[in-house]
Structure 1
Amino acid sequence: MAINALGYIGIRSDKLSDWSDFAGGLLGMQRIDRSSRELAFRMDDRMQRLFIMNEPGETLSCMGWEVEFESDLDHYAARLEKAGTRVRHATRAECDRRFCATVVMFDDPMGNRMELIWKPMVASDPFVPGRPISGFKTGPYGMGHAVLHVRDIEIMMPFYRDNLDFHVSDFGLQPYGLYFFHVNNRHHSFAMVGSGGQGFHHFMIEFGNLDDVGQGYDIATQSEDCVAYTLGRHTNDYMTSFYANSPSGFFVENGWGGRIIDPATWEPRQTSDGPSFWGHERLYLTEEGGRKRLRDMRMDAAARGIQAPPVADCPWLFSELTRSGH
């Protein structure tokens, strides 16, 4: 029994044309026209990984989380209902729109719609990217990861950990709570920022080649205000990435080289070196609004020689380095 991957993300937005250019042209996804009120995108052999519904709001509509067995849906539904969360099974028409055999729907404590899905459909035709890229790192790792702003992390953290079996990868407590969770070998598929706000912070897609990211970065720099974070590398999952401003105002992380872990041996730990080894300058922030503080953290990490291990995809090596204190 397990939730084992982020299957898809749905967005509410009435900017379908902008999303078509952004997801197809910059992100390299394959556009699929569903109707005049919905736009979908493929990243691999799945029927859809991202869909945009023509509704006002410019925010997250839902996240779909894959389960291993159909019986897992009833197990989680019963657990959630026992904890006081209203759950319902999707209608046949709703399942068809999600291209899944079965779907269970519910809201988390902050009102974010979550969906547990079983047996997502595979497309009969090959994936054709929207721009020349090597492809995306999906498969057993899922679509990527998603991050939420939360008002009360002390409520949200146990909801996902205890009710949905999301496993803590690492966390930070200052200047606010920040929790990262894994559901497979990807370092994290979900995270929450205890910013006191509410809504979608970003989602991440991982490319198969660093040059896919670099060429996307060049594309993004051609448009004013498209880049939100400059190119950089994260301290916890070792992802080399940049963040783009989406048409709906939240961010999309374009990454490569993310950390692969062994969930059987992984132990959560508190992070204190800041979010990035280098780069990731927050262009949307003012100096007083946090940009300088984050830059100072990177400079401090560099002065102390804090870097990622030379091998970025070996779970055994990571566990050994963790045990030895490196």
Structure 2
Amino acid sequence: MSVTALGYIGIRSDRLDDWSDFAGKLLGMQKIDRGGKSLAFRMDDKAQRLIVAHEPGETLAFMGWEVEHLADLDAYAARLERAGTRVFRAPKALAGQRLVTELIAFDDPMGNRMELFWKPMLAADPFVPGRSISGFRTGPLGMGHAVLHVRDIGIMMPFYRDLLDFHVSDYGLQPYGLYFFHVNGRHHSFAMVGSGQQGFHHFMVEFCNLDDVGQGYDLACRQEGRVAYTLGRHTNDYMTSFYAHSPSGFFVENGWGGRQIDPAAWTPHETTDGPSFWGHERLYLTEEGGRKRLRDMRLDAAARGLRAPAVVDCPWLYGELAKQGR
């Protein structure tokens, strides 16, 4: 049994108009007209990827993780219940709302609602983006990735690693604890920030074309206070991205060029170079509150000549560019 991908994310918010503009006009998702007090958005051939429910709280409502086989739901439910986690076996009505065939739900040790589902519904019509983009990198890699703030990594690590079979990609201890997990070939579909806090840090969507990110960055820069991290490149997954403040306060990473790994051959390891090769200036931080420290780590990485591999050393990226005739 295995979890294969991040399938969908649900958000609580009473700022539906703001989310409509943000997800549609900035991220480029397709808004689905559902009526009532909720919004849904597509990114590809799946019927929905992002759900925003009209509820107070401005935070994560749930994450949906796809499993390979229907029997995996019962197997995970049994494992979780043996470990003392209460599992909610969802009725058909809830599965219908999520546009999946079957699902189970439960809370992690910090109260974040997780859902495991089987067989998502496909849309009948082609994906039509909310702005002119080349599309999102999804498919078997899933929606993207999601990141949580955590108070106690000692409790959260065994839950996701041992009970849900999330595999450690790498981790860094400076300037704070960062732990990354893969469930497929995407370098990470899930991560935890050991900030001592609780809540949703960000989710990431990956575009098929770097220009889609750059044009989104131009749009975000036109909105006062929208950019949270400037354009930059991460050291572990090689993602070129910027982060935007969402209408609910957490971040959304807009990325391109993320690293793809071979899970069967991957060895977890500690990283010591900091989060980014360059850029990703945290505009929301003060100098004393961590902004200078992170900048110094980037400048040190640059002084040591750290670089991501060239395109020819990234077979998956080279192959994608070759398909596009570049």
Aligned partner of residue 220 in structure 1, secondary structure? helix
| Structure 1 residue 36 displacement after superposition | 2.3
Q: CA deviation digits over 1:108-152, x for unaligned, max 9?
A: 000000000000000000100000000000000000000000010
Amino acid at match of 2:286: T
Pair 1:188-2:188 in alignment:
yes
User: How far apart, in 2, do the equivalents of 1:110 and 1:263 lie?
Assistant: 28
Tell me if the contact between 2:29 and 2:41 (Cα under 8 Å) persists in the aligned partners. Answer: yes
**Mapping for residues 1-326 of structure 1, pairs under 5 Å:** 1-311=1-311, 313-314=314-315
User: How far apart, in 1, do the equivalents of 2:277 and 2:22 lie?
Assistant: 28
| Structure 1 residue 260 displacement after superposition | 0.4
User: How far apart, in 1, do the equivalents of 2:250 and 2:314 lie?
Assistant: 29
Aligned partner of residue 228 in structure 2, secondary structure? strand
Amino acid at match of 1:166: F
User: How far apart, in 2, do the equivalents of 1:233 and 1:173 lie?
Assistant: 19
Aligned partner of residue 186 in structure 2, secondary structure? coil
Amino acid at match of 1:86: R
Tell me if the contact between 2:178 and 2:192 (Cα under 8 Å) persists in the aligned partners. Answer: yes
Tell me if the contact between 1:24 and 1:31 (Cα under 8 Å) persists in the aligned partners. Answer: yes
User: How far apart, in 2, do the equivalents of 1:88 and 1:147 lie?
Assistant: 23
Tell me if the contact between 1:260 and 1:314 (Cα under 8 Å) persists in the aligned partners. Answer: no
Q: CA deviation digits over 1:251-302, x for unaligned, max 9?
A: 0000000000000000011010000000000000000000000000000000
Q: Which moved more, 1:137-146 or 1:33-42?
A: 33-42
Tell me if the contact between 2:174 and 2:274 (Cα under 8 Å) persists in the aligned partners. Answer: no
Q: CA deviation digits over 1:51-78, x for unaligned, max 9?
A: 1000000000000000000000001000
| Structure 1 residue 88 displacement after superposition | 1.4
Tell me if the contact between 2:175 and 2:294 (Cα under 8 Å) persists in the aligned partners. Answer: no
Tell me if the contact between 1:261 and 1:314 (Cα under 8 Å) persists in the aligned partners. Answer: no
Q: CA deviation digits over 1:13-43, x for unaligned, max 9?
A: 0000000000000000000121221100000
User: How far apart, in 1, do the equivalents of 2:272 and 2:155 lie?
Assistant: 23
Amino acid at match of 2:124: S
Aligned partner of residue 264 in structure 1, secondary structure? helix
Amino acid at match of 2:210: L
| Structure 1 residue 177 displacement after superposition | 2.1
TM-score (normalizing by structure 2): 0.96
**Residue 321 of structure 1 corresponds to which residue in structure 2?**
none
| Structure 1 residue 176 displacement after superposition | 2.9
Q: May I ask how many residue pairs the two structures share in their alignment?
A: 317
Tell me if the contact between 1:148 and 1:191 (Cα under 8 Å) persists in the aligned partners. Answer: yes
Amino acid at match of 2:214: G
Tell me if the contact between 1:89 and 1:105 (Cα under 8 Å) persists in the aligned partners. Answer: yes
Tell me if the contact between 1:45 and 1:127 (Cα under 8 Å) persists in the aligned partners. Answer: yes
Gap regions ≥5 residues in structure 1: 318-326
User: How far apart, in 2, do the equivalents of 1:172 and 1:155 lie?
Assistant: 18
Tell me if the contact between 1:18 and 1:247 (Cα under 8 Å) persists in the aligned partners. Answer: yes
Amino acid at match of 1:122: L
Amino acid at match of 2:79: R
Tell me if the contact between 2:12 and 2:57 (Cα under 8 Å) persists in the aligned partners. Answer: yes
Q: How high is the sequence identity, in percent, across the aligned residues?
A: 77
Aligned partner of residue 252 in structure 2, secondary structure? strand
Aligned partner of residue 93 in structure 1, secondary structure? helix
Amino acid at match of 1:228: A
Gap regions ≥5 residues in structure 2: 319-326
